[in-house]
Amino acid sequence: LQMRALQRDNFCLALPASHPLADAVVPIAPQQLAGAAFVMAEQTSGMHEVARRGGFSIRQQHPSGGLVDVLAQVAFNVGIAVIPASLSRVISLPGVVYRSIQPPEIPSGIVMLFRQWERTPAIVNFISFAESMQFDDALIDPQGHPIKP
């Protein structure tokens, strides 16, 4: 299998506007989130990494559907969410503020995974199209090592 990174991103926090950390002007340290209720986004890796870095276990998890549901629950003060930062630049909802997480950044991204020797014409065409785009990242194997074309 081969992977192609399509977008690199990092995670940020979505907080209710009434949350005590909503007015923070510096990135929020994961330790400050101990005891908080979390709304689970589709990508849970960021939430779990925040908890790991903060040295706590997430006790209150509120499952959700898609991103709009996650942000609606945040707006209604159900909890906080860890979401890809790119979404914070394109979605604005009343009652939700976005804040950075204290570095180092927690990476997120979108990758395309495909068989190295794919023969299905439609898939081969799609791979060719994706590779013709001006992505900055090289092909990588499932372990994250570069593959020379």
- CA angle in degrees (0–180, nearest 5) for 33-84-94: 75
CA-CA distance, 54 to 56, in Å (whole number)?
A: 6
Q: How high is the pLDDT of residue 136?
A: 47
With 80 as the cut, is the pLDDT of residue 139 above it? Answer: no
146 has pLDDT over 50: no
Confidence (pLDDT) at 140: 43
Rounded Cα distance, 65 and 120, in Å: 33
Which pLDDT belongs to residue 134? 56
Three-state DSSP class for 98? strand
Residue 66, pLDDT > 90, answer: no
Q: What is the mean pLDDT of residues 39-59?
A: 92
User: Could you give the CA distance from residue 56 to residue 48 in angstroms, rounded to a whole number?
Assistant: 10
